Amino acid sequence: MQASKGSAYLIGALGWVMVLSACTTATTIPEAGTSSHAKGVPAADPLVSSLPPRLPRPLVPIPARPKQPNPPYPRPPSLPSLPIPEPLQPQLPVLPVQGGHYLSYPALQTFIGRMQQVHGFDAGQLQSLFATVQRNEEIIAKASKPAEAKPWLQYRPIFITEDRIQSGMAFWQQYANSVEAAAQQYGIDPAYIVAIIGVETFYGRNTGNYSVLQALTTLAFDFPKRADFYQKELEQYLLLTREEQVQPLAWQGSYAGAMGLGQFISSSYRQYAQDFDQDGRRNLWDPEDAIGSVANYLARHGWQAGEDVAVPAYVSGQGYARLLSEKPVKPNLSLSALSIQWVAPVNNFRARQASLILLDGAAGSEFWLGGDNFYVITRYNHSNKYAMAVHQLAQAIRQQMGR
């Protein structure tokens, strides 16, 4: 028994010598540099699940905090003023039927019947509402070619720009009290709260100019690839506007029907949006509510305070190939288990487990290790490229802030 243990120890030690030797000869994939700004800013992922499962343990309610004004942003340029929709009457408008494009769709009539039977909507009012909605070809075209389909070397320059980094600093400073309060209340790294809003809408510059009702109706009944998903989101949108006492025609968002600074889809708005400024309304066009809502979303999906998000990785041999997946996967391997496959972090990596990520960068293949928090970001948008853009933008803003 003693001799067996000694042999095991000797074999283990020799294994680690081989790992360290491989690490010294493998190519390091450096952090990519910044590139010129591109204008196209895609909205929230239209392919996320409609109602993310709740975590087993709900958050402990936090006592109401005293309202503190955010300090004025100390230096130019100031951020543009953000339009905040005003609440309207909860009753759906009774409009004259005008032969709208979708009224002839049997699927819409089935949908209206279900909304009446399940949720108590007035069928006549819904008929009048949808009579005003026309098919939008531009929405279908954009949904068919999302930005996440681009390779990483083209996707990254959309988001990692000097303008977006500097504007992230400005946003953080302007709403410092809200950012820090949300980070403390929900246990989220503040740089990632800011970065998600930066990637989603450039800190409120581009929250979308499509009618949410038109976008969801178009995709629900004229985009077969995701028709079930968008019909569920259209159902959630009508419930949301009824709950928030807003006319369904009032709100504008992305081509996929996502709303506000954080680009929440309707189901996420209902489940995760917060009235963080405590004014009695959950308004995601309001920066303070958006900040608190993004933090709540990350917390509810399992953010681990104190853990890192991602780090470049060394790889050697061929064993690593079986660890790769095109879609985000929940980390399930310890660093020691990864080392057996000749995979190791370039720098110190605070994470209990990780997954291996491959991106096609401008200088070739980039290998990264993503921890649990990287996976949490992919719950916001189911894309490794999206999560990496958020991570690199967060790190760039943090560096500029000196934090």
Pairing type for strands 355-361 and 364-370 reads antiparallel
Number of H helices, E strands in the chain: 15, 6
The single-letter code of the amino acid at 368 is: W
Distance CA 201, CA 197 (A): 6
Of 31, 148, 180, 200, which one is the catalytic site residue?
A: 200
Upper half-sphere CA count for residue 390 (Cβ side, 13 Å): 33
Distance CA 369, CA 358 (A): 9
200 belongs to the catalytic site: yes
272 contacts 296 by C-beta, under 8 angstroms: yes
Distance CA 288, CA 129 (A): 32
Residue 145 is classified by DSSP as S
* Terminal Cα distance for the chain, rounded: 53
How far apart, in Å, are the Cα atoms of 259 and each of 43, 79, 237?
9, 19, 11
Which residues are tagged catalytic?
A: 200
